[in-house]
Chains A and B, each alone.
Chain A
Amino acid sequence: MLLSLVLFAVGLYGGLVMAPADYQQGDSFRIIYIHVPSAWMSLFVYMVMAISGGIGLIWHMKIAEIVARSSAPIGASFTFIALVTGAIWGKPMWGTWWVWDARLTSELILLFLYLGFIALQSAFEDRRVAARAGAILALVGIVNIPIIHYSVEWWNTLHQGPTVTKFDSPSIHLSMLIPLLIMSLAFTSYYFSVMLTRCRSEILEYEANANWVKELLTTKTASI
């Protein structure tokens, strides 16, 4: 977590103070430093969730199920941030908070996939059954990921095209790009730190009756 805090501080300083204003969008482009990393992470976390869900489904690995379950709320919040900051950015630039364009709509569907996954987790008494149902939803929903990614190329969207992940060199100046990359690293390390904290409680709840939990808690309460 310390690492993410340092990266956030450096990235925000670079993005809000050091980077020059955009020649078309002025200072409003600075929303990019939270919007784009959130959107990237919303896809990345979904992939982690679907793949570990799949591993849990095939090999019945508890830890994979726990990773999937712990990732979902974080991924949902990244998706939420991407949508909301996008709307706030869209208002001054496009003149509207929301349009039903391909990029925005597919990202909204991603939010619903996350919410569906979370709802499934609490819909079953048995955690293993819930994990299996969630994994199937996550794997089916994976089809949405390339749609989000390529939506700005496949359709004419109001959303601007890619500036960083193009095959030729990125069409963004280094002084703007470096803070963006640092912010993405910060988001990634934040995700892993929060996800692992979530996993810890999940494991404790899962294994509530195991001997090692008893021993751990005995030493913990004894030391207080």
Chain B
Amino acid sequence: MNEFIEMGGYGKFVWSAYAIWLIVMVINYVQPMIREKKTVNELSKRLGLK
């Protein structure tokens, strides 16, 4: 397990790259979902449905 984390001494490079990747991917996925909710909410309000 330790060997896996160390990545032959390149651990900090490999894992920081993967961490940045993961953060960007999650933001990209979550942001449109929040926006959709907001849009639906705003439009419903405007139409007097809420």
A residues sitting closer than 8 Å to B (CB atoms) are 1, 16-17, 21, 26-28, 30-31, 34-35, 38, 73-74, 77, 80-81, 84-85, 88-89, 91-92, 190, 194, 197-198, 200-201, 204-205, 208, 213-214, 217-218, 220-221
Contact = CB atoms under 8 A, between A and B. Distances in A.
A100 B1 CA distance: 38
10 contacts: A17-B4, A38-B21, A88-B13, A91-B13, A194-B32, A197-B32, A201-B36, A204-B43, A213-B43, A218-B47
Contacts of B4: 16-17
B28 A85 contact: no
Contacts, number: 91
Contacts of B17: 31, 34-35, 84-85, 88-89
Interface of B: 4, 7-11, 13-14, 16-18, 20-21, 24-25, 27-29, 32-33, 35-36, 39-40, 43-44, 46-47, 49-50
B49 A217 contact: yes
Given A27-B7, A27-B8, A214-B47, A77 B14 contact: no
